[in-house]
Protein backbone atom coordinates (compact mmCIF):
# COMPACT_ATOMS: atom_id res chain seq x y z
CA UNK A 1 0.00 0.00 0.00
CA UNK A 2 1.35 3.43 -0.92
CA UNK A 3 1.02 5.98 1.86
CA UNK A 4 -0.49 5.41 5.25
CA UNK A 5 -4.20 6.11 4.84
CA UNK A 6 -6.41 3.04 4.75
CA UNK A 7 -8.76 4.85 2.36
CA UNK A 8 -7.61 7.30 -0.29
CA UNK A 9 -10.94 9.08 -0.59
CA UNK A 10 -10.41 12.62 0.70
CA UNK A 11 -12.87 15.34 1.57
CA UNK A 12 -12.23 19.04 1.87
CA UNK A 13 -11.31 20.29 5.32
CA UNK A 14 -13.64 22.97 6.64
CA UNK A 15 -10.78 24.49 8.57
CA UNK A 16 -8.09 27.00 7.81
CA UNK A 17 -4.38 26.93 8.39
CA UNK A 18 -4.05 30.47 9.67
CA UNK A 19 -4.72 30.95 13.37
CA UNK A 20 -5.73 33.75 15.66
CA UNK A 21 -3.52 35.24 18.27
CA UNK A 22 -4.13 36.44 21.79
CA UNK A 23 -7.41 34.51 22.29
CA UNK A 24 -8.73 31.78 24.52
CA UNK A 25 -7.00 28.51 23.73
CA UNK A 26 -9.48 26.11 22.16
CA UNK A 27 -10.90 22.85 23.38
CA UNK A 28 -8.86 21.11 20.73
CA UNK A 29 -5.44 19.39 20.80
CA UNK A 30 -2.92 17.99 22.95
CA UNK A 31 -0.26 17.88 25.52
CA UNK A 32 3.20 17.56 24.14
CA UNK A 33 6.90 18.38 24.29
CA UNK A 34 9.81 18.18 21.89
CA UNK A 35 11.54 14.84 21.71
CA UNK A 36 14.52 13.90 19.61
CA UNK A 37 16.77 15.64 17.15
CA UNK A 38 15.27 16.94 13.95
CA UNK A 39 11.85 17.48 15.49
CA UNK A 40 9.88 20.50 16.61
CA UNK A 41 8.02 20.80 19.88
CA UNK A 42 4.26 20.69 20.13
CA UNK A 43 2.58 23.06 22.61
CA UNK A 44 0.76 21.71 25.63
CA UNK A 45 -2.97 21.90 25.17
CA UNK A 46 -6.03 19.73 25.83
CA UNK A 47 -7.28 16.83 23.73
CA UNK A 48 -10.35 16.49 21.54
CA UNK A 49 -11.50 14.46 18.56
CA UNK A 50 -12.79 16.08 15.41
CA UNK A 51 -15.89 14.75 13.66
CA UNK A 52 -14.85 11.43 12.13
CA UNK A 53 -11.20 12.27 12.13
CA UNK A 54 -8.03 11.81 14.15
CA UNK A 55 -6.60 14.96 15.73
CA UNK A 56 -3.04 15.83 16.58
CA UNK A 57 -1.72 19.22 17.54
CA UNK A 58 0.70 21.22 15.48
CA UNK A 59 1.11 25.02 15.19
CA UNK A 60 1.41 25.26 11.41
CA UNK A 61 0.83 29.00 11.27
CA UNK A 62 0.04 31.90 13.54
CA UNK A 63 -1.58 35.24 12.87
CA UNK A 64 -0.88 38.54 14.56
CA UNK A 65 -3.68 40.49 16.21
CA UNK A 66 -1.56 43.60 16.45
CA UNK A 67 1.63 44.86 14.86
CA UNK A 68 4.20 42.41 16.20
CA UNK A 69 7.98 42.70 16.42
CA UNK A 70 9.97 39.81 14.97
CA UNK A 71 13.29 39.65 16.83
CA UNK A 72 16.68 38.01 16.36
CA UNK A 73 16.16 35.94 19.52
CA UNK A 74 13.41 34.64 21.74
CA UNK A 75 12.97 37.55 24.14
CA UNK A 76 12.52 41.31 24.09
CA UNK A 77 16.25 41.68 24.84
CA UNK A 78 17.02 40.90 21.20
CA UNK A 79 16.94 43.43 18.39
CA UNK A 80 13.93 43.85 16.12
CA UNK A 81 14.35 42.44 12.61
CA UNK A 82 10.97 43.43 11.24
CA UNK A 83 7.53 44.46 12.40
CA UNK A 84 4.87 42.05 11.17
CA UNK A 85 1.65 43.93 10.40
CA UNK A 86 -1.57 43.14 12.21
CA UNK A 87 -3.52 40.31 10.60
CA UNK A 88 -0.53 38.73 8.86
CA UNK A 89 -0.43 34.93 8.74
CA UNK A 90 3.08 33.52 9.06
CA UNK A 91 4.54 30.01 8.99
CA UNK A 92 5.85 28.54 12.25
CA UNK A 93 9.37 27.11 12.00
CA UNK A 94 9.87 26.13 15.64
CA UNK A 95 9.13 26.88 19.27
CA UNK A 96 11.52 27.78 22.08
CA UNK A 97 11.34 26.50 25.64
CA UNK A 98 9.99 29.87 26.83
CA UNK A 99 7.10 29.58 24.38
CA UNK A 100 8.30 32.08 21.79
CA UNK A 101 7.72 30.98 18.19
CA UNK A 102 10.32 30.97 15.45
CA UNK A 103 8.57 32.15 12.32
CA UNK A 104 9.32 32.92 8.71
CA UNK A 105 8.26 36.28 7.29
CA UNK A 106 9.28 38.32 4.26
CA UNK A 107 12.30 36.17 3.49
CA UNK A 108 13.65 36.20 7.04
CA UNK A 109 13.36 34.00 10.11
CA UNK A 110 12.97 35.41 13.59
CA UNK A 111 11.11 35.09 16.86
CA UNK A 112 7.75 36.42 18.03
CA UNK A 113 6.21 36.44 21.48
CA UNK A 114 3.75 33.65 22.26
CA UNK A 115 1.57 36.21 24.04
CA UNK A 116 -0.03 36.94 20.70
CA UNK A 117 -0.47 33.47 19.21
CA UNK A 118 -2.31 30.20 19.78
CA UNK A 119 -1.50 26.80 18.34
CA UNK A 120 -3.37 25.06 15.57
CA UNK A 121 -4.33 21.45 15.44
CA UNK A 122 -4.04 18.97 12.62
CA UNK A 123 -6.29 16.13 11.64
CA UNK A 124 -6.10 13.06 9.45
CA UNK A 125 -8.76 12.04 7.01
CA UNK A 126 -8.84 8.31 7.78
CA UNK A 127 -7.57 5.51 9.99
CA UNK A 128 -3.81 5.67 10.24
CA UNK A 129 -0.97 3.18 10.81
CA UNK A 130 1.33 4.01 13.73
CA UNK A 131 4.86 2.74 13.00
CA UNK A 132 8.02 2.24 15.02
CA UNK A 133 9.85 4.90 12.98
CA UNK A 134 9.16 7.90 10.80
CA UNK A 135 8.70 6.17 7.43
CA UNK A 136 6.83 3.29 5.81
CA UNK A 137 9.93 1.08 6.08
CA UNK A 138 9.28 0.66 9.81
CA UNK A 139 6.92 -1.96 11.18
CA UNK A 140 3.32 -1.17 12.09
CA UNK A 141 2.73 -1.00 15.84
CA UNK A 142 -0.98 -0.23 15.76
CA UNK A 143 -3.70 1.11 13.49
CA UNK A 144 -5.32 4.18 15.01
CA UNK A 145 -9.07 4.17 14.26
CA UNK A 146 -10.87 7.09 12.69
CA UNK A 147 -12.23 9.43 15.36
CA UNK A 148 -9.48 8.73 17.90
CA UNK A 149 -7.67 11.59 19.61
CA UNK A 150 -3.97 11.15 20.34
CA UNK A 151 -1.17 13.19 21.88
CA UNK A 152 1.49 14.46 19.49
CA UNK A 153 5.01 14.91 20.84
CA UNK A 154 7.16 15.93 17.91
CA UNK A 155 7.29 16.43 14.17
CA UNK A 156 10.14 14.94 12.12
CA UNK A 157 11.75 16.84 9.26
CA UNK A 158 9.93 14.58 6.76
CA UNK A 159 6.55 15.60 8.16
CA UNK A 160 5.82 12.51 10.27
CA UNK A 161 4.40 12.99 13.78
CA UNK A 162 5.44 11.19 16.96
CA UNK A 163 2.29 10.23 18.87
CA UNK A 164 1.05 8.10 21.76
CA UNK A 165 -1.84 5.69 21.37
CA UNK A 166 -2.99 2.56 23.20
CA UNK A 167 -0.04 2.53 25.57
CA UNK A 168 2.50 2.72 22.75
CA UNK A 169 4.48 5.53 21.19
CA UNK A 170 5.17 5.61 17.47
CA UNK A 171 5.05 7.64 14.28
CA UNK A 172 2.26 8.50 11.84
CA UNK A 173 2.53 9.95 8.36
CA UNK A 174 1.81 13.64 7.92
CA UNK A 175 0.69 13.04 4.32
CA UNK A 176 -2.93 12.74 5.34
CA UNK A 177 -2.89 15.49 7.93
CA UNK A 178 -4.38 18.95 7.53
CA UNK A 179 -4.68 21.87 9.93
CA UNK A 180 -7.88 23.27 11.36
CA UNK A 181 -8.67 25.96 13.92
CA UNK A 182 -9.39 25.46 17.57
CA UNK A 183 -12.69 26.30 19.25
CA UNK A 184 -12.59 28.44 22.38
CA UNK A 185 -11.69 26.67 25.60
CA UNK A 186 -14.68 28.16 27.36
CA UNK A 187 -18.06 29.05 25.86
CA UNK A 188 -18.77 32.74 25.94
CA UNK A 189 -22.38 33.68 25.40
CA UNK A 190 -25.97 32.68 26.04
CA UNK A 191 -27.11 35.30 23.54
CA UNK A 192 -30.41 37.09 24.11
CA UNK A 193 -31.82 34.45 26.47
CA UNK A 194 -32.61 36.29 29.69
CA UNK A 195 -34.74 33.51 31.14
CA UNK A 196 -34.03 30.40 33.19
CA UNK A 197 -35.12 28.18 30.29
CA UNK A 198 -32.62 26.16 28.28
CA UNK A 199 -32.13 27.06 24.63
CA UNK A 200 -31.37 24.12 22.33
CA UNK A 201 -29.33 25.23 19.32
CA UNK A 202 -28.36 23.28 16.21
CA UNK A 203 -25.59 24.23 13.79
CA UNK A 204 -24.53 23.43 10.23
CA UNK A 205 -26.76 21.32 7.96
CA UNK A 206 -29.43 18.61 8.25
CA UNK A 207 -28.74 15.19 6.79
CA UNK A 208 -32.00 15.12 4.80
CA UNK A 209 -34.93 17.42 4.11
CA UNK A 210 -37.38 14.95 5.63
CA UNK A 211 -35.34 14.74 8.85
CA UNK A 212 -35.29 18.52 9.03
CA UNK A 213 -39.04 18.87 8.52
CA UNK A 214 -39.83 16.08 10.98
CA UNK A 215 -37.73 17.74 13.68
CA UNK A 216 -38.99 21.30 13.33
CA UNK A 217 -42.58 20.07 13.01
CA UNK A 218 -42.18 18.07 16.20
CA UNK A 219 -40.57 21.00 18.00
CA UNK A 220 -43.54 23.18 17.11
CA UNK A 221 -46.07 20.59 18.27
CA UNK A 222 -44.14 19.92 21.51
CA UNK A 223 -43.79 23.63 22.33
CA UNK A 224 -39.99 23.61 21.96
CA UNK A 225 -38.34 26.70 20.53
CA UNK A 226 -35.08 25.79 18.78
CA UNK A 227 -32.36 28.08 17.47
CA UNK A 228 -31.11 26.93 14.07
CA UNK A 229 -27.70 28.05 12.72
CA UNK A 230 -27.39 26.77 9.13
CA UNK A 231 -24.35 27.56 7.01
CA UNK A 232 -24.99 29.45 3.80
CA UNK A 233 -23.71 26.66 1.57
CA UNK A 234 -26.28 24.35 3.14
CA UNK A 235 -29.11 26.81 2.56
CA UNK A 236 -28.05 27.27 -1.05
CA UNK A 237 -27.79 23.52 -1.62
CA UNK A 238 -31.28 22.77 -0.32
CA UNK A 239 -32.75 25.66 -2.26
CA UNK A 240 -31.06 24.48 -5.46
CA UNK A 241 -32.01 20.81 -5.04
CA UNK A 242 -35.48 21.10 -3.52
CA UNK A 243 -36.55 24.70 -3.99
CA UNK A 244 -36.95 25.20 -0.24
CA UNK A 245 -35.62 27.79 2.18
CA UNK A 246 -34.63 25.99 5.38
CA UNK A 247 -34.61 29.25 7.34
CA UNK A 248 -38.13 30.13 6.22
CA UNK A 249 -39.41 26.63 7.03
CA UNK A 250 -38.04 26.92 10.57
CA UNK A 251 -39.45 30.39 11.16
CA UNK A 252 -42.88 29.25 9.96
CA UNK A 253 -42.85 26.72 12.80
CA UNK A 254 -42.00 29.25 15.49
CA UNK A 255 -38.27 28.45 15.50
CA UNK A 256 -35.43 30.97 15.47
CA UNK A 257 -32.64 31.22 12.89
CA UNK A 258 -29.20 32.79 13.28
CA UNK A 259 -26.30 33.35 10.90
CA UNK A 260 -23.44 30.82 10.73
CA UNK A 261 -21.32 32.12 7.79
CA UNK A 262 -21.32 30.93 4.19
CA UNK A 263 -18.80 28.10 4.31
CA UNK A 264 -17.83 27.63 7.99
CA UNK A 265 -14.23 28.89 7.90
CA UNK A 266 -12.26 30.06 10.88
CA UNK A 267 -13.06 33.75 10.53
CA UNK A 268 -10.08 34.96 12.55
CA UNK A 269 -7.52 34.99 9.71
CA UNK A 270 -9.87 37.18 7.65
CA UNK A 271 -10.03 40.94 7.51
CA UNK A 272 -13.06 42.75 8.91
CA UNK A 273 -14.36 43.23 5.36
CA UNK A 274 -13.98 39.55 4.47
CA UNK A 275 -15.66 38.47 7.70
CA UNK A 276 -18.55 40.73 6.76
CA UNK A 277 -18.71 39.12 3.33
CA UNK A 278 -18.89 35.64 4.90
CA UNK A 279 -21.81 36.79 7.02
CA UNK A 280 -23.57 38.79 4.32
CA UNK A 281 -23.73 36.05 1.71
CA UNK A 282 -25.67 33.45 3.67
CA UNK A 283 -29.22 34.68 3.14
CA UNK A 284 -29.72 34.91 6.92
CA UNK A 285 -29.71 38.63 7.63
CA UNK A 286 -30.52 38.71 11.30
CA UNK A 287 -29.00 40.40 14.33
CA UNK A 288 -27.28 37.36 15.87
CA UNK A 289 -24.76 34.93 14.45
CA UNK A 290 -22.60 32.04 15.59
CA UNK A 291 -18.93 32.27 14.56
CA UNK A 292 -17.64 28.91 13.28
CA UNK A 293 -15.85 27.05 16.09
CA UNK A 294 -16.91 29.84 18.43
CA UNK A 295 -13.67 31.54 17.35
CA UNK A 296 -13.70 35.30 17.95
CA UNK A 297 -11.12 38.06 17.80
CA UNK A 298 -11.08 41.75 16.91
CA UNK A 299 -11.49 41.17 13.17
CA UNK A 300 -14.43 38.83 13.76
CA UNK A 301 -16.14 41.31 16.06
CA UNK A 302 -15.55 44.06 13.52
CA UNK A 303 -17.14 41.95 10.79
CA UNK A 304 -20.16 41.18 12.96
CA UNK A 305 -20.55 44.85 13.85
CA UNK A 306 -20.42 45.78 10.17
CA UNK A 307 -23.44 43.53 9.58
CA UNK A 308 -25.34 44.67 12.65
CA UNK A 309 -24.92 41.29 14.33
CA UNK A 310 -23.85 40.16 17.78
CA UNK A 311 -21.96 36.85 18.22
CA UNK A 312 -23.91 34.14 20.03
CA UNK A 313 -21.88 31.10 20.98
CA UNK A 314 -22.98 28.66 23.71
CA UNK A 315 -22.63 27.81 27.37
CA UNK A 316 -22.84 24.00 27.11
CA UNK A 317 -21.29 21.90 24.34
CA UNK A 318 -22.57 18.33 23.92
CA UNK A 319 -19.69 17.48 21.56
CA UNK A 320 -22.20 15.38 19.63
CA UNK A 321 -19.81 15.30 16.65
CA UNK A 322 -17.18 13.69 18.87
CA UNK A 323 -19.18 11.14 20.83
CA UNK A 324 -21.40 10.08 17.90
CA UNK A 325 -23.88 8.66 20.39
CA UNK A 326 -27.55 9.47 20.70
CA UNK A 327 -27.75 8.49 24.36
CA UNK A 328 -24.66 10.48 25.37
CA UNK A 329 -25.79 13.53 23.40
CA UNK A 330 -29.21 13.42 25.05
CA UNK A 331 -27.67 12.97 28.50
CA UNK A 332 -25.32 15.91 28.02
CA UNK A 333 -28.05 18.20 26.73
CA UNK A 334 -30.35 17.12 29.56
CA UNK A 335 -27.63 18.00 32.09
CA UNK A 336 -27.90 21.68 31.16
CA UNK A 337 -28.26 24.27 33.88
CA UNK A 338 -30.95 26.93 33.94
CA UNK A 339 -30.39 29.55 31.26
CA UNK A 340 -27.89 27.47 29.28
CA UNK A 341 -27.46 27.67 25.53
CA UNK A 342 -26.78 24.08 24.42
CA UNK A 343 -24.75 23.38 21.27
CA UNK A 344 -25.64 20.48 18.99
CA UNK A 345 -25.58 19.91 15.22
CA UNK A 346 -28.34 19.15 12.74
CA UNK A 347 -26.40 16.29 11.16
CA UNK A 348 -26.00 14.41 14.45
CA UNK A 349 -28.24 12.50 16.83
CA UNK A 350 -29.68 15.30 18.94
CA UNK A 351 -31.64 16.66 15.98
CA UNK A 352 -34.62 14.32 15.90
CA UNK A 353 -38.13 14.22 17.37
CA UNK A 354 -37.25 11.45 19.82
CA UNK A 355 -34.08 13.17 21.02
CA UNK A 356 -35.96 16.43 21.60
CA UNK A 357 -38.68 14.55 23.46
CA UNK A 358 -36.17 12.88 25.76
CA UNK A 359 -34.15 16.04 26.39
CA UNK A 360 -37.25 18.02 27.30
CA UNK A 361 -38.55 15.28 29.60
CA UNK A 362 -35.22 14.80 31.38
CA UNK A 363 -34.84 18.54 31.94
CA UNK A 364 -38.41 18.72 33.24
CA UNK A 365 -37.60 15.97 35.75
CA UNK A 366 -34.98 18.36 37.15
CA UNK A 367 -37.40 21.27 37.21
CA UNK A 368 -35.91 22.98 34.15
CA UNK A 369 -37.87 24.07 31.10
CA UNK A 370 -36.79 24.48 27.49
CA UNK A 371 -37.33 27.59 25.42
CA UNK A 372 -40.86 27.51 24.03
CA UNK A 373 -42.11 27.78 20.47
CA UNK A 374 -42.77 31.39 19.49
CA UNK A 375 -46.41 32.35 19.94
CA UNK A 376 -46.16 36.10 19.69
CA UNK A 377 -45.34 38.67 22.31
CA UNK A 378 -47.89 37.32 24.79
CA UNK A 379 -46.67 33.73 24.47
CA UNK A 380 -50.14 32.26 24.15
CA UNK A 381 -52.31 30.85 21.42
CA UNK A 382 -51.13 29.33 18.14
CA UNK A 383 -47.59 29.13 16.84
CA UNK A 384 -46.53 32.35 15.13
CA UNK A 385 -43.82 32.81 12.48
CA UNK A 386 -40.71 34.15 14.17
CA UNK A 387 -39.34 37.48 13.00
CA UNK A 388 -36.01 37.60 11.17
CA UNK A 389 -34.55 39.91 13.81
CA UNK A 390 -34.43 38.82 17.43
CA UNK A 391 -35.91 40.93 20.22
CA UNK A 392 -33.52 42.10 22.92
CA UNK A 393 -34.81 39.31 25.14
CA UNK A 394 -35.65 35.93 23.65
CA UNK A 395 -39.33 35.17 24.40
CA UNK A 396 -38.78 31.69 25.80
pLDDT in tens, 157-210: 777 877 777 788 888 887 655 444 455 554 567 789 999 999 999 999 998 999
Q: Could you give the C-alpha distances from 147 to 253, 321, 322, 325, 354, in angstroms and in order?
A: 35, 10, 7, 13, 25
Residue 106 has pLDDT above 60, yes or no: yes
Q: Tell me what the pLDDT averaged over the chain comes to.
A: 77
Please tell me the distance from the alpha carbon of residue 309 to that of residue 224, in angstroms, as a whole number: 24
* pLDDT computed for residue 101 by the predictor: 78
Percent residues over pLDDT 70 in the chain: 69
* pLDDT computed for residue 7 by the predictor: 32
**Number of Cβ within a 10 Å radius of residue 57:** 30
More confident residue, 238 or 7: 238
Which of 81-90, 161-170, 175-184, 226-235 has the highest mean predicted lDDT (pLDDT)?
A: 226-235
* pLDDT computed for residue 138 by the predictor: 95
* pLDDT computed for residue 146 by the predictor: 65
Which of 72-76, 115-119, 371-375 has the highest mean predicted lDDT (pLDDT)?
A: 371-375
Residue 376 has pLDDT above 90, yes or no: no
Of 174, 154, 198, the C-alpha closest to 343 is 198
User: What sections of the chain are H helices per DSSP?
Assistant: 209-221, 232-242, 246-252, 272-280, 298-306, 320-323, 326-334, 353-365
Q: How confident is the model at residue 23 (pLDDT cuts 50, 70, 90)?
A: very low
pTM of the model: 0.59
Q: How confident is the model at residue 122 (pLDDT cuts 50, 70, 90)?
A: very low
* pLDDT computed for residue 177 by the predictor: 55
**Number of Cβ within a 10 Å radius of residue 58:** 23
CA max distance for the chain: 71
Please tell me the distance from the alpha carbon of residue 159 to that of residue 151, in angstroms, as a whole number: 16
Q: How confident is the model at residue 304 (pLDDT cuts 50, 70, 90)?
A: very high
* pLDDT computed for residue 65 by the predictor: 56
Please tell me the distance from the alpha carbon of residue 87 to that of residue 268, in angstroms, as a whole number: 9
> Of 49-53, 92-96, 138-142, 311-315, which gets the smallest average pLDDT?
49-53
Residue 264 has pLDDT above 70, yes or no: yes
pLDDT digits (tens, 9 = 90+) for 28-65: 222 222 223 333 333 332 232 222 233 333 445 565 65
> Of 47-61, 245-259, 313-327, 343-357, which gets the smallest average pLDDT?
47-61
* pLDDT computed for residue 195 by the predictor: 93
Q: What are phi and psi of 376, to 5 degrees?
A: 85, 180
More confident residue, 135 or 164: 135
Which domains are delineated in the chain? 39-180 (2.30.30.40), 199-365 (3.20.20.370)
Residue 104 has pLDDT above 60, yes or no: yes
Asked if 66 contacts 116 with a C-beta cutoff of 8 angstroms, the reply is: yes
Q: What are phi and psi of 212, to 5 degrees?
A: -65, -50
* pLDDT computed for residue 18 by the predictor: 27
* pLDDT computed for residue 87 by the predictor: 63
Can you count the helices (H) and strands (E) in the chain?
8, 22
Please tell me the distance from the alpha carbon of residue 302 to that of residue 308, in angstroms, as a whole number: 10
Amino acid sequence: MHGESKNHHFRRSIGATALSAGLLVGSVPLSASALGAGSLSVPAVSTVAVATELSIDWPARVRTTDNLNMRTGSSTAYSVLKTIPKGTSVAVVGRESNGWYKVSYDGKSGYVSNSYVVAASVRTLDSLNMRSGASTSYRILKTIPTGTTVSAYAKASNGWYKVSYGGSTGWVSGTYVTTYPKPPSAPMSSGPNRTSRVVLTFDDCPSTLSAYKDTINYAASANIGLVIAPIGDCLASYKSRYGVDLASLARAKGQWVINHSISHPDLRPLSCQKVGAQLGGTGVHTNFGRPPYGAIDGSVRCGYNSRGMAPWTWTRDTEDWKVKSKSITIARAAAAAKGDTVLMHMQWYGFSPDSLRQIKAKLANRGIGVCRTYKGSDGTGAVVRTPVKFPSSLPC
